[in-house]
A and B are shown apart, each in its own frame.
Chain A
């Protein structure tokens, strides 16, 4: 029988790691993720998890040790956030390029400067081009589930790419919620053992990994990563289905909420989706035709799902906790990319919101919605808006 426990998001991530039975964990403390490796080291110390835990001297070495371990053919796991993830940046490309299905839990946190330990998605969004699959969790249960799912997808032979699961700093990492811990037996069945065929360092099989790729071969190697990421779309759907069958919880690339007759659909990711759904309920009571959508899988980007969603609405309003200076939000760019060649497409507006732990209030959502309503009636004035700015101190 699955066990229900009240726990923080970080603990849920640690439980997911324990259930997945990685052979090597290498991690370095960073707020707000520190509790993940802390809890795992407890599991290892108690003998509840049989793994080598490497207490590395930096995040750069954490991911490098995971790369070494995964290359030697074992399941590897790490956790980090913000600056730690940014420090890993270089090695993230290497992990993906070498097709090493490492899984990483991220407590989504803002990047310096100024120093800020609170939530936004700038850390993972900035790693969108590294070749890692990206999941975003709405709550602690999703954090646990999406880490298990990440392992299954990453290790699929059609994919073989690393994956990260993000859950919002403090809002989830440090907040307790009831979480259902699946049965170990079922998880074992679901994941199986990691037995790579393509790469494992073993004296019995003297292969060379990560060689120099000349211009004559580099593009083909990169194309293979592209192909794998494209394959991941189908694999993710299959894994979501299998997960639902086994554990009873349904996941979708994009989860829609009251969108069928919506004129305006507000799109977001992570824990903000919970707030947004409540907001939609409130507006529906007021008679406003608004819906919500949550992007669960950001890489590969759910292009088809966004196209289908776009057919329903007149305005898509993206609410996102990240910014690409000089352009706009990253999700906005991806949604726009999905719709650019559609014959009929809705207005797409971008709302930068909740950076560095700024609370996202109903008032802010109202503001975004009213801008969307105005654009629907009078046309687009601007495309990117910063919502919730304290204009009095600017």
Chain B
């Protein structure tokens, strides 16, 4: 993959140069049917830039099924396999095994990347068993969970990755029941409990970091996992132009901190490591799904965010 830098012969300011590490070639094609401002679609564009045509994708029934297009269309420039909701981990295991049996090089430099791309529902809930099996058996493949924090394709129902206080169509709030009552499930911690060689969080607002992690996932043998924060304007009741801003704020508030877990070591990759997290309210106020939260609700969420953030920092300190 040729980086933009080499294609574009111009003098480039230092601060922009980093952005140009993103490969230039597009393998995610326009004309796809994602909603306006879709974080998942942008995520796919980055993954397809990172791996080019040297990847085989598996997508379960989710928004990305629609994004990739109905028959006979495809927005992908790489081979793509659509499968049932809960099977991503198992299907990528089968593909990897088959490629190996055929004598193909899988993972590593110039190897084929076997990539599973599933949403938070398909990963944290219905697909958790197959994910665990895939991680535990040690297949040479990458599982990406694009996290938009609810079942968006079926019309915005809560998943175990939906945060505290969020409105969804099945946590509507009312006289008797509050909105979403449970805190966001830490899928990445479950993944790390498998002692995988490589796991990381990433955000569509930080593509250089995401693409660097994708490359790392390619180099390191064994199963790798990336949880990609991908805002959904439709489900979050947020303006379509705010998707990047929200993804950035999720990181800056430490609601969704960027970090890597590599062979037992934690490393935090925050854009400004010295900076204190911004108040969670900055992230919440741009989204209609949080508009019913009371001051107390916001405090509950804020406390959870900071506690989790402290825990992560401790882990990075002790196992850094």
User: Could you tell me if B87 and A61 are in contact, using CB atoms closer than 8 angstroms?
Assistant: yes
User: Could you tell me if A211 and B82 are in contact, using CB atoms closer than 8 angstroms?
Assistant: yes
Verify if A213 is at the interface (C-beta below 8 Å from B). Answer: yes
Q: Which of B70, B98, B101 contacts A211 (CB 8 A)?
A: B70
User: Could you tell me if B68 and A208 are in contact, using CB atoms closer than 8 angstroms?
Assistant: yes
Verify if A76 is at the interface (C-beta below 8 Å from B). Answer: yes
User: Could you tell me if A68 and B92 are in contact, using CB atoms closer than 8 angstroms?
Assistant: yes
Return chain B residues, CB-CB under 8 Å to A239.
none
Return chain A residues, CB-CB under 8 Å to B94.
24, 26, 54, 64-72, 76
Report the bound CA distance from A211 to B92 in whole Å: 17
* CB within 8 Å of B: which A58-111 residues: 58, 60-62, 64-74, 76, 90-91, 94
Verify if B79 is at the interface (C-beta below 8 Å from A). Answer: yes
User: Could you tell me if B101 and A51 are in contact, using CB atoms closer than 8 angstroms?
Assistant: yes
Verify if B3 is at the interface (C-beta below 8 Å from A). Answer: no
* CB within 8 Å of A: which B94-133 residues: 94-95, 97-102, 112, 129-130, 132-133
- Number of B residues near A (Cβ < 8 Å) is 45
Verify if B83 is at the interface (C-beta below 8 Å from A). Answer: yes
Verify if B56 is at the interface (C-beta below 8 Å from A). Answer: yes
Report the bound CA distance from A221 to B83 in whole Å: 16
Verify if B65 is at the interface (C-beta below 8 Å from A). Answer: yes
User: Could you tell me if A91 and B66 are in contact, using CB atoms closer than 8 angstroms?
Assistant: no
The residue in B68, B69, B102 that gathers the most chain A C-beta atoms within 10 A of its C-beta is B102
The residue in B55, B73, B76, B90 that gathers the most chain A C-beta atoms within 10 A of its C-beta is B90
Return chain B residues, CB-CB under 8 Å to A50.
101
Verify if B169 is at the interface (C-beta below 8 Å from A). Answer: no
Return chain A residues, CB-CB under 8 Å to B102.
23, 72-74
| Chain A interface SS verdict (over half) | mixed
Report the bound CA distance from A234 to B27 in whole Å: 43
Verify if B285 is at the interface (C-beta below 8 Å from A). Answer: no
Q: Which of A60, A65, A69, A201 contacts B79 (CB 8 A)?
A: A201
Closest to B88 in A: A64
User: Given A26-B94, A52-B100, A73-B98, are A57 and B79 also a contact pair (CB < 8 Å)?
Assistant: no
Return chain A residues, CB-CB under 8 Å to B65.
211-212
* CB within 8 Å of B: which A193-213 residues: 201-203, 205-213
Q: Which of A56, A71, A91 contacts B93 (CB 8 A)?
A: A56
Closest to B52 in A: A203
Closest to B89 in A: A61
Return chain B residues, CB-CB under 8 Å to A74.
98, 101-102
User: Given A64-B94, A203-B55, are A57 and B132 also a contact pair (CB < 8 Å)?
Assistant: yes
Verify if A55 is at the interface (C-beta below 8 Å from B). Answer: yes
User: Could you tell me if A208 and B76 are in contact, using CB atoms closer than 8 angstroms?
Assistant: yes
Report the bound CA distance from A1 to B68 in whole Å: 53
Q: Which of B71, B82, B93, B99 contacts A54 (CB 8 A)?
A: B93
Verify if A217 is at the interface (C-beta below 8 Å from B). Answer: yes
User: Could you tell me if A54 and B137 are in contact, using CB atoms closer than 8 angstroms?
Assistant: yes
Verify if B54 is at the interface (C-beta below 8 Å from A). Answer: yes
The residue in B69, B77, B82 that gathers the most chain A C-beta atoms within 10 A of its C-beta is B82
User: Given A202-B79, A209-B80, are A60 and B87 also a contact pair (CB < 8 Å)?
Assistant: yes
Return chain A residues, CB-CB under 8 Å to B84.
64, 90-91, 94
Report the bound CA distance from A56 to B87 in whole Å: 12
Verify if A223 is at the interface (C-beta below 8 Å from B). Answer: no
* CB within 8 Å of A: which B30-55 residues: 53-55
Return chain B residues, CB-CB under 8 Å to A56.
90, 93, 133, 137
| B292 → A minimal CB distance (Å) | 34
Report the bound CA distance from A25 to B316 in whole Å: 40
| B217 → A minimal CB distance (Å) | 17
User: Could you tell me if A210 and B97 are in contact, using CB atoms closer than 8 angstroms?
Assistant: no
Report the bound CA distance from A242 to B222 in whole Å: 44
User: Could you tell me if B70 and A206 are in contact, using CB atoms closer than 8 angstroms?
Assistant: no
Q: Which of A55, A72, A212, A213 contacts B56 (CB 8 A)?
A: A72
Closest to B69 in A: A211
The residue in A90, A208, A210, A214 that gathers the most chain B C-beta atoms within 10 A of its C-beta is A208
* CB within 8 Å of B: which A342-374 residues: none
List of 4 A-B pairs having minimum Cβ-Cβ separation, nearest first: A68-B94, A65-B94, A210-B82, A61-B90
Q: Could you list which residues of chain B lie within 8 angstroms of chain A, going by C-beta atoms?
A: 53-56, 58, 65-66, 68-74, 76-84, 86-87, 89-95, 97-102, 112, 129-130, 132-133, 136-137
Q: Could you list which residues of chain A lie within 8 angstroms of chain B, going by C-beta atoms?
A: 23-24, 26, 50-52, 54-58, 60-62, 64-74, 76, 90-91, 94, 201-203, 205-214, 217, 221
